[in-house]
Amino acid sequence: MPRLASEPSVEISEKSGVRYLHFGSEWIQGAMRVQRPNALELAYTREMLTGLLLRDTPWPRRALLIGLGAGSLAKFLYHKSPETKIIAVEIDPRVEIVARLHFKLPQDPDRLKVLIGDGVDYLKNCRLKFDLILIDGFDKDADPGLLDSSPFYHDCRARLTDDGLLAINLLGKKRFEKSAEMIAEAFEERSLVFQSADNGNAIALAAGGNAVDVSFEEISIAADTLYRRTGLNLASVIPRLQDSEKRIENRLLI
């Protein structure tokens, strides 16, 4: 099918050993360090996996990604969490092709299935339940569209298991407050938002049926264990969780 004139181009750039994905603009839609293709190069992608500190392994058994990008999150879960089955929903078929050709996305549909379609429609019609839902979808103007809407967040809530967690990349400071309100309403206040180390991003976390109730000592131990097991260092996230309004004495309650 020919590309419509209104569709953004899918472009790749490379600098200092890092390969970047762009959608017709300077906005970075994904990144991969060529010598470490399965590591998470961008800080916000690492922070989106904060849920790994809040639930006990083996978790997650099933993960849903809305927005494939360069495939960074999908690759990390595929290689570092072998018990996880992954579904990634991507609206632009060209992105999957680029992720496979230039960003080393694995070809293993039994464990990593890529579906081409609208993430909003997928969640509305899906009947599967997920332990982890990761939302990172934007157009060339960094607009998430209906991926940042109250009905969509309610659909996310409905598709989570009891121990399920949602993580969302919120881009653009003007949206943070409204997005946080919609997420909190959909999840009955079991949510929080913290500023990302990547300027202009924030990460929203929300819990499904079972609330998060964990001490910061337990979180620190989980972070150390995760680092030794996978190389993912989330120690810098802990102070931001401690600064959250969801901290009650020495516990995080979501």
Q: Looking at the domain 42-253, which fold is it?
A: Rossmann fold (3.40.50)
DSSP string, the chain: -PPPTTSPPEEEEEETTEEEEEESSS-EEEEEETTBTTS--SHHHHHTTGGGGTS-SS--SEEEEE--TTSHHHHHHHHH-TT-EEEEEES-HHHHHHHHHHS----BTTTEEEEES-HHHHHHH----EEEEEE----TTS--GGGSSHHHHHHHHHTEEEEEEEEEEEESHHHHHHHHHHHHHHTTT-EEEEE-SSTTEEEEEEE-SSPPEEEHHHHHHHHHHHHHHH----TTHHHHHHTSTTEETTEEE-
56, 110, 136, 141: the catalytic one is: 136
Quote the pTM value. Answer: 0.94
The pLDDT value recorded for residue 173 is 56
**For residue 69, what pLDDT is reported?**
95
Mean pLDDT of 37-61: 96
How high is the pLDDT of residue 24? 80
pLDDT tens for residues 99-146? 999 999 999 999 999 999 999 999 999 999 999 999 999 877 778 899
pLDDT per residue as tens digits for the range 13-28:
999 999 999 988 777 8
The per-residue pLDDT for 47 is 98
What confidence tens digit (pLDDT) does each residue in 181-235 have? 999 999 999 999 999 998 788 999 999 999 999 999 999 999 999 999 999 999 9
The predicted pLDDT at position 23 comes to 87
**pLDDT computed for residue 115 by the predictor:** 98
136 classed as catalytic: yes
State pLDDT tens for residues 153-189: 999 999 999 999 999 999 865 678 899 999 999 999 9
